[in-house]
Structure 1
Amino acid sequence: MTIQTINAAQLQQWQQQQKDFVLLDVREDNEVQYAAIPGYLHIPMNMIPLRQNELPDDKPIVIYCHHGMRSMQVALYLQDTGFENLYNLKGGIDAWSREVDCNIPTY
């Protein structure tokens, strides 16, 4: 089974429609302090196995990192542990900064 992807514009639509979902940021603390998409839940990638119980299993989870590689690994891990309705943000926060909100710095 493959992980669904969502692009920055689709994610912005979800936010504007106030769709009920979790926006999971799996980057490191210093990355989150530098730039983040509003409304995120932060669980660093290496903490996911210890903290996955904080994630709801009854609503979509959009996972993001810098460019989309770490978030895809987390999505595959969560899928293996039984989570469904997972989305990987294509291009990560870098795409969000370039396509949706240029006020969020790129790095």
Structure 2
Amino acid sequence: METQSTDAGDIEVWTADEVAEAKAKGEIVLVDVRTPQEYMFEHIEGALLMPMSFFDAGSLPGQSDKRIVLYCGSSMRSGKMAEKVLASGAGKIAHLKGGFGGWKEAKKPYIGTEMSTGAPKRVDG
């Protein structure tokens, strides 16, 4: 895990492998900050959706039991939202290095769209 220093504080930057391992162990809450359209087309299975345009740091769950890890397409939006979470008074926040693109590049499974029917389908990376 890397650390990114910002004016609001330090943000943890997790690799796709670190996120996948923590997700498998039930140690994190994964929050997608992309648009609803992006999420519907493809997303990490089990991720919650809180689009950047409606992002409310105060509505995130507490982190006493599970760490919150944000992600977007490339990690630009999730980095900005992580700063917003820290500015709201949270002590810790993390985001996925490389975003969803990095997740796919690492060949991790996700929920995609079956183009012939429009139905969701599991993609094994």
**TM over 0.5, shorter chain:** yes
Q: How many residues align?
A: 102
Contact kept, 8 Å, 1:27 with 1:65, in 2: the verdict is: yes
Shift in Å, 1:38? 0.8
Using CA pairs under 8 Å that are at least 6 residues apart, name the structure with larger relative contact order, 1 or 2. Answer: 1
- What's the offset of the Cα at 1:8? 0.3
State the structure with more CA Rg.
Answer: 2
Taking only aligned residues, the RMSD between alpha carbons, in angstroms, comes to 1.7
Check the 8 A contact 1:72/1:88 in 2, yes or no: yes
Which stretches of structure 1, 4 residues or longer, exceed 2 Å deviation after superposition?
Answer: 100-105
Equivalent pairs: percent with the same residue? 30
Gaps of 5+ in 2: 1-8, 113-125
**TM-score w.r.t. structure 1 length?**
0.85
The amino acid that maps onto 2:36 is: D
Counterpart residue type for residue 18 of structure 1: G
Q: Which residue of 1 aligns with 2:67?
A: 60
Matches within 5 A, 1:65-104: 65-101=72-108
More strand by share: 2
Q: Normalized against structure 2, the TM-score is what? A: 0.74
